[in-house]
Amino acid sequence: MTAQTLLQPDQGLELYPDWWRGAVIYQIYPRSFQDSNGDGIGDLRGIMERLPYIASLGVDVIWISPFFTSPMKDFGYDVSDYCDVDPMFGTLADFDALVTAAHRLGLKVLIDLVLSHSSDQHPWFKESRSSRDNARANWYVWADAKPDGTPPNNWLSIFGGSAWAWDATRCQYYLHNFLASQPDLNFHEPAVQDELLSVARFWLERGVNGFRLDTINFYVHDYELRDNPALPPEQRNASIAPAVNPYNHQEHLYDKNRPENLDFLRRFRALMDTYDAAAVGEVGDAQRGLEILGEYTSGNDKVQMCYAFEFLAPDAPSAARISAVLRHVAHVAPDGWACWAFSNHDVMRHVSRWDLSQAAARAYATLLLCLRGSVCLYQGEELGMPEAELSFEDLQDPYGIQFWPEYKGRDGCRTPMVWTRNKLNAGFSQGMPWLPVAREHLSLAVDAQERAPDAILHHYRRAIAFRHAHRALIRGALRKLHVSGDVLSFHREEAGEELFCAFNLSHDPASLHLPEGNWVTIGQELNSSGPGEDGVVHLGPWQPCLVVKR
């Protein structure tokens, strides 16, 4: 077997009507990506300036976190106008220009739709709370107090405390799964569903290619408002909420994950299909996340992709853990489609969360881009950015302020991108940034890594290119999953191409025997090992073996 790199570039995702399948998605957190006007806050024009850099990574899609009009109590995830741009981010004309520029570079555009709740400053909620008999009285989840004046049931907010807030005008409680300033919309009301579909249509008409659907399993609540049962301590899981949050003490059967949600998702999919659009849903559930992923992506009549929190969890995934997750997905979502991520705007950056060395970070990046499913990369992940250390005085996130110091919130993963090491604020802004630029990030700036051939930025580019060079990695089946100690291996197969991928996920050397067949080593640019004369593959610490059958 001759060691050589066999890269046959794929003709692109446009070959397939299901262009989203296997796509690499780059998440942009607008506040922290690039500021174009010196106010210290990133904006749409800033994103447009940096699109050539994003395209240079080789990704297929950008996902832009919320930029809608908002009082910013939860930094855009509290929407007060679904069909306009908040002035701090620019204008609708800026958005249109951004979409046009992205498409010119071959990038599809997803935007973050927050449909489960709005801001309490939204005109819909202002009208709804004004009386019990107005036209939108039933657009939010209202309920009477118990006879003793306490909330209608035991549901808890992810941000702490009861999920119910008292309103003195209606003399009723309203539901809020997050902040009290984020009242939940009532999906049992047909007019609400119709209006939200109109919102989606508004953006599809402006040229977006689809959506990331925030908290997709929170849309529908139990109509009878039944209490959630207690969750035994041994079943509690801190992947959705920090361990100090009593939200983890309940099994969330009734405040989310309702089967009635599937009917709305079918309506949403029917709308998207008319535009050849796609959506990826965020499934926030610590116990049933993968099962819900399977339900929501099954068949061809609901959302195309979902991601759960298995690889956003606190502990680094071992070979055995990854195998268990992939087997579970194969069982609960045999015809569904996962979207994998290690980092995003809500969790500690995975380099810090998992305490990864540079070698380990590269190994996990290569593994991520070899998995079956689509992939989300979070801005700065390609630079190997660790979590920023912030003082309490610098915090902006209400979640972190609520639970400090046991939980420091989400600001540490939201600090500005570092573009130019020796420029003011690392090239992010000419003004005072809304969060400080982390000193520990300066050496990782884009300009410094561009000049360093061995930088992790180039590793990500090579790993993305490697994925695109093999259709088996983009669309193929994942078979023959195997774990031996700290080594995870599997086959990827599509249209006559078969790859064998193995990963040593440890600090110690390992070895393995290749399956029977004529295998040729590929991926040397990703530090791939190949078989020796004895047919045994010797893996160094954190080293992959990537071979193709000939």
CATH, residue 487? 2.60.40.1180
Q: What is the pLDDT of residue 241?
A: 79
Q: What is the pLDDT of residue 9?
A: 38
Instruction: Please say whether the beta carbons of 319 and 488 come within 8 A.
Output: yes
Instruction: Please give the full DSSP string across 480-508, using - where no structure is assigned.
Output: EEEEETTEEEEEEEETTEEEEEEEE-SSS
Task: Single out the residue in 435, 467, 499 at which a domain terminates.
Answer: 467
Let me know whether 434 and 512 are in one domain: no
Q: How far is CA 60 from CA 24, 102, 222, 477, in A?
A: 5, 10, 38, 20
Q: Could you list the active site residues?
A: 214, 282
What domain range includes position 242?
19-119+190-467
Let me know whether 448 and 491 are in one domain: no
Let me know whether 390 and 506 are in one domain: no
- Domain for residue 113, yes or no? yes
The pLDDT of residue 13 is above 90: no
Strand order in the sheet with 172-175: 142-143, 172-175, 164-167
Strand, coil or helix: 228: coil
Let me know whether 195 and 307 are in one domain: yes
Q: What are phi and psi of 462, to 5 degrees?
A: -65, -40
The pLDDT of residue 208 is above 90: yes
Residues with Cβ within 8 Å of residue 93, at least 6 apart in sequence: none
Let me know whether 340 and 254 are in one domain: yes
What confidence tier does 219 reach under pLDDT thresholds 50, 70, 90?
very high
Instruction: Please say whether the beta carbons of 226 and 119 come within 8 A.
Output: no
What confidence tier does 242 reach under pLDDT thresholds 50, 70, 90?
confident
Instruction: Please say whether the beta carbons of 424 and 400 come within 8 A.
Output: no
**CATH number for 108:** 3.20.20.80
Q: What residues does 25 pair with on adjacent strands?
A: 61, 376
Question: What's the rounded Cα separation, in Å, for the pair 447 and 420?
Answer: 5
Q: Greatest CA separation found in the chain?
A: 81
Q: What residues does 127 pair with on adjacent strands?
A: none
Instruction: Please say whether the beta carbons of 349 and 306 come within 8 A.
Output: no
What confidence tier does 237 reach under pLDDT thresholds 50, 70, 90?
confident
Task: Single out the residue in 467, 496, 519 at which a domain terminates.
Answer: 467
- Domain for residue 297, yes or no? yes
Instruction: Please say whether the beta carbons of 352 and 440 come within 8 A.
Output: no
What confidence tier does 17 reach under pLDDT thresholds 50, 70, 90?
confident
Instruction: Please say whether the beta carbons of 117 and 284 come within 8 A.
Output: no
Let me know whether 387 and 504 are in one domain: no
Token pair listed for 512: 């393995």
Instruction: Please give the full DSSP string across 130-156, using - where no structure is assigned.
Output: T-SSSTTTTSB-EEPPPTTS--SS--B
Let me know whether 460 and 492 are in one domain: no
What confidence tier does 14 reach under pLDDT thresholds 50, 70, 90?
low
Mean pLDDT value across residues 188-195: 98
Task: Please state, as a whole number, how many other Cβ atoms lie within 10 Å of the Cβ of residue 449.
Answer: 22
Task: Single out the residue in 443, 467, 491 at which a domain terminates.
Answer: 467
What confidence tier does 15 reach under pLDDT thresholds 50, 70, 90?
low
- Domain for residue 26, yes or no? yes
pTM above 0.75, yes or no: yes
Question: What's the rounded Cα separation, in Å, for the pair 31 and 180?
Answer: 23
Let me know whether 316 and 413 are in one domain: yes
360-377 pLDDT per residue, tens: 999 999 999 999 999 999
Strand, coil or helix: 54: helix
Mean pLDDT of the chain: 95
143-185 pLDDT per residue, tens: 999 999 999 999 999 999 999 999 999 999 999 999 999 999 9
Let me know whether 527 and 397 are in one domain: no
The pLDDT of residue 10 is above 50: no
Q: Residue 322's closest CA among 373, 285, 281, 283?
A: 373
User: What amino acid occupies position 416?
Assistant: P
Phi-psi domain of 277 (left: phi exceeds 0; alpha: psi -120 through 50; beta: other): beta
What confidence tier does 228 reach under pLDDT thresholds 50, 70, 90?
very high
Mean pLDDT value across residues 96-106: 98
Let me know whether 195 and 70 are in one domain: yes
Let me know whether 483 and 459 are in one domain: no
Number of domains in the chain: 2
- Domain for residue 522, yes or no? yes
- Domain for residue 303, yes or no? yes
Question: What's the rounded Cα separation, in Å, for the pair 71 and 79?
Answer: 8
460-493 pLDDT per residue, tens: 999 999 999 999 999 999 999 999 999 999 999 9
Strand, coil or helix: 349: coil
- Domain for residue 180, yes or no? no
Q: How far is CA 352 from CA 254, 356, 472, 533, in A?
A: 34, 7, 31, 39
- Domain for residue 395, yes or no? yes
In what helix (H) or strand (E) does residue 108 lie, and over which residues does it extend?
A: strand 108-113
Let me know whether 86 and 197 are in one domain: yes
294-330 pLDDT per residue, tens: 999 999 999 999 999 999 999 999 999 999 999 999 9
- Domain for residue 87, yes or no? yes
User: What amino acid occupies position 220?
Assistant: V
The pLDDT of residue 412 is above 70: yes
The pLDDT of residue 235 is above 50: yes
Q: For the chain, give the percent of residues with pLDDT over 90.
A: 93
